[in-house]
């Protein structure tokens, strides 16, 4: 019996190791893909996408939802990682589309990223198929749930309703990965509006209230020299903000 249990444990660990190796190899291949857009590779040093995608557990064959996908830097990398057997749904609202228009025209030139589905949906009108995703990611974007600019087409977002819809769309055991700009502990929710930053504790509270289980965090993008009083768009801190990386799980 002990020999059988040890054998089963070895087989299980070997399987997990093989999956991890496949994921790592796919991520390495994505970063060196010759089809990447000009300028994307230059951002890799400060964004550390290999480490982020490995931490999130993005692997070949997955179906991934990217919320507030913006110009699609991570959309493209994940499309390469998940491969032909997987797919990526890149969600943007109308405001994000306007902001990223030029970059998106290049990103989605006909013939590129065939496994990516573009989803244009306002966050208060999000409708997703139930149990359809293996992972969801928010990269430098969740703080915008607290952003309000109604004259320019950005109404107040019902954050709990949006997270509930995402929760419903994820398969049991699916991962949710988040990267965002740090606001100091105790900062009000409207820091997402004024500074485009968010208190990590507030974000964690939001996701746990929606039924997600906090699993792990990484300091790979932390920068203690950041000036938290400045909005992330300020040229003196842009691209160098203190960023936290969280991983949640849908039970």
pLDDT attached to residue 7: 46
Q: What pTM was estimated for this model as a whole? A: 0.89
pLDDT tens-digit map of 195-214: 999 999 999 999 999 999 99
pLDDT attached to residue 22: 65
pLDDT above 90: residue 27:
yes
Distances (CA, A) of 71 to 68, 100, 109: 9, 5, 13
pLDDT above 80: residue 17:
no
Q: What average pLDDT does range 206-229 have in this prediction?
A: 97
Query: Considering the chain, what percentage of its residues have pLDDT values greater than 90?
Result: 82
Go through the chain and tell me how many residues it has: 251
Q: What average pLDDT does range 45-63 have in this prediction?
A: 97
pLDDT above 70: residue 79:
yes
Query: Residue ranges of the alpha helices (H) in 85-231?
Result: 94-99, 101-107, 159-169, 191-194, 200-209
pLDDT above 50: residue 169:
yes
CATH of the domain at 171: 3.40.50.150
The whole domain housing 196 covers: 2-249
pLDDT above 90: residue 49:
yes
In the chain, the N- to C-terminal Cα span, in Å, equals 31
Half-sphere exposure of 110 (CA within 13 A, CB side): 0
């Amino acid at each position: 019996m002990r020999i059988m249990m040890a054998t089963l444990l070895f087989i299980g660990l070997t399987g997990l190791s093989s999956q991890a190796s496949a994921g790592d190899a796919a991520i390495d291949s994505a970063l060196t893909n010759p089809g990447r857009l000009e300028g994307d590779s230059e951002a890799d040093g400060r964004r550390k996408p290999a480490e982020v995608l490995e931490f999130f557990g993005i692997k070949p064959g997955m179906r991934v939802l990217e919320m507030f996908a913006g110009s699609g830097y991570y959309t493209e990398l994940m499309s390469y990682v998940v491969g032909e057997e997987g797919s990526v749904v890149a969600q943007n609202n109308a405001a994000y589309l306007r902001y990223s228009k030029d970059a998106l025209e290049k990103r989605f030139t006909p013939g590129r990223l065939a496994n990516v589905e573009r989803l244009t949906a306002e966050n208060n009108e999000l409708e997703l198929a139930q149990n359809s995703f293996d992972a969801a990611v928010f990269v430098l974007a969740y703080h915008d749930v607290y952003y309000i600019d109604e004259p320019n087409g950005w109404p107040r977002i019902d954050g709990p309703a949006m997270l509930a819809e995402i929760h419903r769309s994820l398969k049991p055991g699916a991962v949710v990965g988040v990267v965002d700009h740090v606001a100091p502990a105790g900062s009000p929710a409207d820091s997402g509006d004024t500074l485009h930053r968010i208190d990590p504790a507030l974000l964690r509270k939001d996701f746990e209230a929606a039924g997600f289980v906090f699993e792990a965090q990484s300091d790979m993008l932390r920068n203690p020299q950041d000036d938290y009083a400045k909005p992330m768009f300020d040229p003196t801190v842009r691209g160098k903000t203190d960023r936290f990386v969280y991983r949640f799980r849908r039970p």
